[in-house]
Amino acid sequence: MGITFGTSGWRAIIADEFTVANVRLVTRAIARELETRGGDPAQGLIIGYDTRFLSERFAAVCAAELGRIGWGAYLTTRETPTPTISHAIRAHRAVGGINFTASHNPPQYNGMKLSTADGAPALPELTKAVEARIELMSSAGEERAGGGADPSTVMLDPKGAYLADLESKIDFDKIEKAGLRLAYDPLWGTGRGYLDEALRAHGCEVHTVHDVRDVLFGGNSPEPSERNLAEMRELILGEKLALGVATDGDADRFGFVDRDGSFVSANHILALVCDYLCETRQSVEGGIARSVATSHLLDRVARHYRRGVYETPVGFKYIGEMIIEDRLLLGGEESAGLTIKGHLPEKDGILACLLVVEMMAVRQASLREMIEALFHRHGALYSERVGVRLTPEVQSRLSARLAADPPTKIGAWTVVDVNRADGVKYLFEDGSWLLLRMSGTEPVVRCYAESHSEKDLEVLLETGSQFVRN
């Protein structure tokens, strides 16, 4: 199998497919494709990396290879959040950026994420062209060996400029007046020294866990899930803190644990932040964008404030496009991605955490209390996703079923419409829905669902899983 770029770049297992030789090959393919499209090598690329095993080594190899073929390179001085790299690309007018990260994937993986000059994730049209170049270069037997460090590489610390930029996006005065006591879990990733520093600098008392580098991420994937935030939950309850905030390995995703120790879903966070921004930034124009897999609670909030709603395929790059076009107040994905008007066309977990802290400081209420108020106004919605592993026979049968005309009913739910923007989304008479998306990298179907109660959601997910298997 050749090197392929998914929704967030090329990812592979370290020392298996993800090797120094392949890093050099991919680097050259990216540089050549960008130059073909008018990119000026003198403007260079921003090269960053996360806390994974050998990430700094791979990044240095990439920078040296760029220098060897006549490209400028800015190499970050330490592991750096993905949104910070996006900001640096724009600030330095670079041609783009290459980030060595596998985000929230397991620790045995690393990756190369390509961003363009606007700081947004590269769109499929570009990544497919890079893939084709890689295949052509491999077929031609192009030499993958490179030299050592290149003296033309510029070392860059983008932290200060990125944090300064957040000052214009967050009402830190409100945060400082509230004097909140918080917990923070960077999950051994790049957010440490960023989010906690910003909060402490503005009057918060911050208690941290997992704020050192661990290339194995404690033996788990660095994903801010309920299971992975158990230690932060104990800290919140033990110290009686107001809130727990978390970021994933490259700090582009968020996670929250409320003061009572309950984990709050990304979909509910997106709806709360949407409501808060519509209320407090009334003069700021723009609609609300969400992926096809994200809660329709955002639609209800948007309609309440007479904001337009845009639905995109899964992949934050599509929301990033609309941020660049200045069409949005907020864009979000159920996989804990968020950005806002005037910010980066990239998901930013640090920004998301700061917005929620600001919201809590202003509203003087817990997340649970705010969610209950939102449900009272718009009706309750609960959403979740599960993965269903497929045999070849089931996969073939399911593909045919999804391509066919929709059934009139799935379990007890009556189908009233079908959305094929990304996967197949069955919309039901009562406002519930079920989305089935095939994985592009493994024999798994992602089953997303939303319903009006947690009990109904559980039944709908099981019904969807049975629909897949039968």
Per domain, the residue ranges of the chain are 10-161, 180-264, 265-380, 382-469
What is the per-residue pLDDT for 145? 58
Name the band, by pLDDT with cuts 50, 70 and 90, for residue 175: very high
Q: Write out pLDDT tens, residues 252-307.
A: 999 999 999 999 999 999 999 999 999 999 999 999 999 999 999 999 999 999 99
Compute the average pLDDT of residues 181-206. 98
Six token digits for residue 386 = 């599960």
Q: Write out pLDDT tens, residues 130-162.
A: 999 999 998 887 766 565 556 679 999 999 999
| Of 37-46, 56-65, 67-76, 137-146, the least confident | 137-146
Nearest to 246 by CA among 200, 202, 204, 188: 188
What is the per-residue pLDDT for 151? 66
Q: What CATH class is the domain 382-469? A: alpha beta
Q: Is the pLDDT of residue 238 over 70?
A: yes
CATH 3.40.1110.10 fits 180-264, yes or no: no
| Of 28-42, 67-81, 140-154, 371-385, the least confident | 140-154
Q: Is the pLDDT of residue 352 over 60?
A: yes
Q: Is the pLDDT of residue 4 over 90?
A: no
Compute the average pLDDT of residues 3-31. 92
In CATH, which of 3.40.309.10, 3.90.1580.10, 3.40.120.10, 2.60.120.590 is domain 10-161? Answer: 3.40.120.10
The sign of the dihedral angle between the CA atoms of 95, 35, 57, 110 is positive
Six token digits for residue 405 = 């005309």
Compute the average pLDDT of residues 75-86. 98
CATH topology of domain 265-380: Alpha-D-Glucose-1,6-Bisphosphate; Chain A, domain 3 (3.40.120)
Q: Is the pLDDT of residue 58 over 70?
A: yes
Q: Is the pLDDT of residue 118 over 70?
A: yes
Compute the average pLDDT of residues 53-68. 96
What is the per-residue pLDDT for 138? 87
What is the per-residue pLDDT for 6? 78
Average of per-residue pLDDT values in the chain: 95
Judge whether 105 and 186 are in contact, CB under 8 Å: no
What is the per-residue pLDDT for 1? 55
pTM of structure:
0.95
Residue ranges in 261-347 assigned as alpha helix (H): 266-280, 297-304, 316-324
What is the per-residue pLDDT for 311? 97
- The domains spanning 180-264 and 382-469 adopt the same CATH topology: no
Six token digits for residue 235 = 């800290």
CB contact set of 416 (below 8 Å; sequence gap of 6+)? 427, 428, 429
Name the band, by pLDDT with cuts 50, 70 and 90, for residue 442: confident
| Of 134-138, 190-194, 350-354, the least confident | 134-138
